[in-house]
Amino acid sequence: MDAQIKNFTSPFEKGELITPEQAMQLAIEVAKLGAPYVSPNPLVGCVVVNANHEFINYGFHKKFGQDHAEADALKKLSPQEIKGSTFYVTLEPCAHEGKTPSCAKTLAKHPVKKVVFGLIDPNPLVSGQGAHILIQAGIQTEEYQGPLKQSLNELCEVFLKNYRDKKIFIAMKVASSLDGQVALKSGESKWITSAASRTYVHELRSYYDAIIVGRNTIEVDDPSLNIRHPEINKENKIVVIDPSGKILDQIAGGKEFNFLKVNKKENIFFGVSKKNHDSDFQQIEFSNLNDLTEKLWHLKIRSAFIEGGAKTYSLFLEAGLVHRLYLFLASSIIGNQNGVSWTNAFGITSLDSKLRLKSTDVLKFGSDILITGQLN
């Protein structure tokens, strides 16, 4: 996910000739505009062209429970524009009725000439059935097979993980110096990266259902863990990994943490090895990280964003549970002598077993560099 939330303007004017790849690329970009709000639905974008392959308009899924991308696009078109048009959609149009009507059935009622969809929907209620409905209605229908296939998979990576594996998708954010240090041994860590990077982190938080942090991060940094972004209004779940219940003990003793002040109590969970029955906070008893993520899944949390600290990063890497990494690199060197490495509790026995990022993207935020890619 590399698009930042902004007032989006189409790069194409109405009536401008565009290629199939340009149409699908635009569909991918507009889909990302719904990133903070569509969960547990997938990100979906749609671009419509006329019989001459000239751009008409676009649509996207803005929020769970609201119009899907195809319906959003249809509302922007006149009957004359719909006639003979081609719809480029990032995901197979849905076949089932839920909070919204079936997109495939809706399109089938209009004089659409062709639908090109990016991926077959892994949801068994849709998979192949949406395309079948369109074909039965006499609409030319095909799955896109061009050079943007990997980008389409990345766009839907959370949804695909959820449906294919019935598991939560986990992303991890690290803010590090060039030499891999995330803090000083004294605990000082504010700030390694720039204000521009930190603003983008608030956007990234909004892409996921929950934020995960370890106990030490709460004690040392006392973070708020809410989403502070001028264009995003969303509240996430907070999961504090606190096996010994130390944070709960401190709260019981009157300690006031920032994250408790700005997040609703019903959105806060503590991962503990044994429940503290004297506390009225929500607690998840877990034996290992696989157990924890399974229990988060059963709480209907479909994605999570790990924000620290070093031990938490290392343990999730060791367990093979990180699916996407966001590594912010500041243009500075701290040194290992007094620094804390974000992988200080993670190691491999041979280079053959090193973790590799796939499908990497690189962005710049002032003097910082963001490297992101898939790990699993």
Query: What's the Rg (C-alpha) of the chain?
Result: 23
Contact 328, 369 (CB under 8 A): yes
Rounded to a whole number, what is the distance in angstroms from the first to the last CA of the chain?
16
Candidates 16, 54, 70, 294; catalytic one: 70
- What torsion do the CA atoms of 171, 240, 291, 371 make, to the nearest 10 degrees? 10
**ω before 309 within 30° of 0 (cis)?**
yes
In sequence order, which residues have a C-beta less than 8 Å from that of residue 119 and are 6 or more positions away?
Answer: 90, 91, 92, 143, 144, 152, 153, 156, 160
CA 118 to chain centre: 18
Tell me the torsion sign for CA atoms 318, 163, 372, 364: negative
State yes or no: is 157 an active-site residue: no
- Structure token pair of residue 148: 């943007």
Cα(106)–Cα(108) distance, rounded to whole angstroms?
5
CA 249/CA 115 separation, integer angstroms: 58
The residues carrying an active-site annotation are 70
